[in-house]
């Protein structure tokens, strides 16, 4: 039996009655589930059997629309060397030499504010007696020390800096143990029943690798119906016509274009104007959306899969790294919604928090017009995997029984927006919380 949006059968789930729950659009009801679907919603469906919801809200399960699952699962076997974890070269060296000599060290979360720009020579000064590789917080750069390069037979690889080279480096390092059980369990406890993996070059065996996850899985670029991810880089930026040709080649499939700068967004919008946008096209991140382009984004009908928590989590770095002209346009949320642009959110874990509730709180706490009302913040994680930002999924007859049960009524949950209010999660009607 296969998993995922592509392969997981909708049928075969157990028959379950979830009693005494609050369902938006219905009020206090019972919900009957069978064969992986909601089959009946209404008051007094079935005596005392089943799960008693105690008046808590039953919602569609949350879907994290953008994250990197193998990198997240590798975190348990990694050393954290971000600005929140270490400060200065001495602490960095200590963190990198914490394990047994001879083992490969995988360090993550690095930012230049810790100990400056890293390269092979700088790392060798910190650690020479074991193989070390350090990933930049952006997830786009690995720096290897001399011992690591020699161990991998790549002693001639220059300064040890590998920019966007995950595909090339795959197979060069001993495989990292993946804590998929932990990732699945923590996500379930947060009410997450589905993930969209957003690696630019997904491992062709990703569905097999991720099989231990109980959540439903969509993989950009791999699943036949899912968008194809296109990663742009200012240094190698295609012309709008070149990008339009690339988009045209992926049709009828939608595209998910990585846009973190002003010029990347403009090239993408021009290309979509030329190629024609289709349902399911997405802008990943939309880090800089100038005010004058908001209406253009709406007209194209693309969904912006945003990270409203980045300006909060990365406030210090943005003070120095972001051009002053761009600061007013960072990770728009409220203004996009007000303009009728389809928006959805992904945590981008492990490069930011894996907790969608923290993302919702950040969206509500944004300054001025970018703030979202709490229900809209919750909605960022409620769209369908292949139509994020589209019509919200609902708990209603015929819907998939991927569900999130809260301890409390919705109004109370929206006040705190905390994962603490999650009581249980179900995929195809099967409980995935312990
Ligand atoms: Zn990402």
Q: Where are the domains of the chain?
A: 79-169, 227-391
Direct distance between the N- and C-terminal alpha carbons of the chain, in angstroms, rounded to an integer: 23
Residue 263 confidence (pLDDT) above 60? yes
CA 198 to ligand 1 center in whole angstroms = 6
| Amino acid 50: pLDDT | 84
| Amino acid 101: pLDDT | 72
CA 71 to ligand 1 center in whole angstroms = 10
| Amino acid 5: pLDDT | 43
Residue 7 confidence (pLDDT) above 60? no
Q: Kindly compute the dihedral angle of the four CA atoms of residues 83, 85, 88, 93, in this order, to the nearest 10 degrees.
A: -130
Residue 116 confidence (pLDDT) above 70? yes
CA 67 to ligand 1 center in whole angstroms = 6
Q: Are 316 and 83 in contact (CB under 8 A)?
A: yes
Fold of 79-169: Diaminopimelate Epimerase; Chain A, domain 1 (3.10.310)
Its CATH class, for the domain covering 227-391, is: alpha beta
CA distance 147 to 267: 41
Average pLDDT over every residue of 313-340: 85
CA 13 to ligand 1 center in whole angstroms = 32
pLDDT digits (tens, 9 = 90+) for 205-245: 999 999 999 999 999 999 999 999 999 999 999 999 999 99
| Amino acid 277: pLDDT | 97
Q: pLDDT tier at 11 (50, 70, 90 boundaries)?
A: low
CA 352 to ligand 1 center in whole angstroms = 9
pLDDT digits (tens, 9 = 90+) for 119-170: 999 999 999 989 999 999 988 899 999 999 999 998 887 899 999 888 888 8
Q: Kindly compute the dihedral angle of the four CA atoms of residues 405, 411, 417, 422, in this order, to the nearest 10 degrees.
A: -20
Using alpha carbons, select from 73, 72, 21 the residue that is nearest to residue 50.
21
CA 356 to ligand 1 center in whole angstroms = 15
Using alpha carbons, select from 412, 377, 411, 396 the residue that is nearest to residue 62.
377
CA 141 to ligand 1 center in whole angstroms = 13
Residue 10 confidence (pLDDT) above 90? no
CA 427 to ligand 1 center in whole angstroms = 25
pLDDT digits (tens, 9 = 90+) for 72-88: 999 988 999 999 999 99
Q: What is the CA radius of gyration of the chain?
A: 22
CA 201 to ligand 1 center in whole angstroms = 12
| Amino acid 320: pLDDT | 77
Q: Which residue has the higher pLDDT, 97 or 1?
A: 97
CA 282 to ligand 1 center in whole angstroms = 13
Distances (CA, A) of 375 to 26, 379, 391: 17, 6, 14
User: Which pTM was predicted?
Assistant: 0.91
Looking at the chain, the whole-number percentage of residues with pLDDT higher than 90 is 79
CA 31 to ligand 1 center in whole angstroms = 36
């Amino acid at each position: 039996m296969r998993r995922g949006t592509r392969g997981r059968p909708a049928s075969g789930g157990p028959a379950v009655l979830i009693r005494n729950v609050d369902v938006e659009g219905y009020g206090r009801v019972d919900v009957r589930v069978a064969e992986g679907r909601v089959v009946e919603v209404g008051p007094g469906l079935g005596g005392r059997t089943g799960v008693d919801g105690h008046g808590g809200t039953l919602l569609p399960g949350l879907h994290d629309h953008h994250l990197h699952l193998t990198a997240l699962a590798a975190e348990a076997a990694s050393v954290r060397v971000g600005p929140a974890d270490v400060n200065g070269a001495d602490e960095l060296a200590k963190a990198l030499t914490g394990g047994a000599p001879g083992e490969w060290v995988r360090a993550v979360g690095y930012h230049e504010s810790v100990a400056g720009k890293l390269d092979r020579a700088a790392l060798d000064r910190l650690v020479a007696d074991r193989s070390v590789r350090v990933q930049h917080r952006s997830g786009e750069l690995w720096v290897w020390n001399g011992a690591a390069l020699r161990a991998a037979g790549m002693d001639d690889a220059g300064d040890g800096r590998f920019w966007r080279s995950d595909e090339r480096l795959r197979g060069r390092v001993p495989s990292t143990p993946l804590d998929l059980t932990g990732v699945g369990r923590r996500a379930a406890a947060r009410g997450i029943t589905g993930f969209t993996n957003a690696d630019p070059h997904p491992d062709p065996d990703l569905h097999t690798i991720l099989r231990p996850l109980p959540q439903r899985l969509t993989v950009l670029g791999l699943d036949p119906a899912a968008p194809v991810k296109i990663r742009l880089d200012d240094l190698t930026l295609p012309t709008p016509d070149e990008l339009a040709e690339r988009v045209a080649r992926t049709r009828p499939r939608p595209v998910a274009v990585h846009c973190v700068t002003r010029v990347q967004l403009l090239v993408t919008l021009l290309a979509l104007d030329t190629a024609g946008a289709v349902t399911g096209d997405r802008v990943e991140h939309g880090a800089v959306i100038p005010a004058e382009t908001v209406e253009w984004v709406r007209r194209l009908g693309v969904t912006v899969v945003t990270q409203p928590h980045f300006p909060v989590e990365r406030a210090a770095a943005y003070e120095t790294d972001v051009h002053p002209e761009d600061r007013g346009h960072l990770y728009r949320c409220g203004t996009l919604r007000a303009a009728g642009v389809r928006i959805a959110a992904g945590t981008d874990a492990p490069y930011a928090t894996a907790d969608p509730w923290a993302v919702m709180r950040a969206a509500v706490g944004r300054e001025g017009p970018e703030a979202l009302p709490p229900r809209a913040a919750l909605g960022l994680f409620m769209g369908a995997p292949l139509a994020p930002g589209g019509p919200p999924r609902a708990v209603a007859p015929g819907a998939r029984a991927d569900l999130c049960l809260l301890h409390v009524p919705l109004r109370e949950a929206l006040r705190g927006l905390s994962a603490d209010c999650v009581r249980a999660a179900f995929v195809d009607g099967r409980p995935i919380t312990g």
